[in-house]
Amino acid sequence: MSTARLELLGGFAISGAGSAAAPLRISSKKAVALVAYLASDDFSFSFTYTVNGDGSRTSSMVAGSYSGTFTNGPRTGQTYFVDQIPPVTGIISEDGQTLIAAHTIPVVETHTYSNDDVWPAICDRSRVFIKLRGGDDDDHGGDQH
């Protein structure tokens, strides 16, 4: 069982392209080893997205763009790559200030580590993006969510 807290600072361009970079805090218990551990890592990935006339939004990770490095815990210094994450579908609030999104289909993600470990995983992610005061209102990528 894994839980993660994501603090995302990302940009969304009107063209439907964006990027995300964030620290990820993981608390994980591996059923195979029955050992709990805490770890932190920094990761980044790129994505594309579409916004429909009804306010719905779907984003997809750009293949090959997800990578990270562990900053503490048992994998400190190791890098890793994730082959895919499922699309994230959501709805934008009527006032355009909030986006709620989640995975709607499960996908097996392959996490490959620099020590040659390979772990398949099915992750369930949901997000709430809130426009912060003082943010850029021109929708050209300056917003912080």
pLDDT of 144 strictly over 70:
no
| Per-residue model confidence (pLDDT) at position 83 | 97
Q: Could you say which DSSP state residue 85 is in?
A: -
DSSP 30-73: ETTTTEEEEEEEEEEEEEEEEE-TTSEEEEEEPTT-EEEEEEES
State what percent of residues in the chain have pLDDT above 70: 66
CA angle at 78 for the pair 76 and 84, rounded to the nearest 5°? 125
Q: When comparing pLDDT for 131 and 117, which is higher?
A: 117
Mean pLDDT value of segment 118-131: 88
Query: Which of 94, 92, 90 lies closest to 127, judged by CA?
Result: 90
Using a 10 angstrom Cβ sphere, with 0-12 exposed, 13-18 middle and 19 or more buried, the burial of residue 15 is: exposed
Q: What is the pLDDT of residues 2-21, one digit of tens each?
A: 334 444 444 554 455 555 54
| Per-residue model confidence (pLDDT) at position 49 | 84
Q: Using CA atoms, how far apart are residues 81 and 68, in angstroms rounded to an integer?
A: 6
- Model confidence at 1, in pLDDT bands (50, 70, 90)? very low
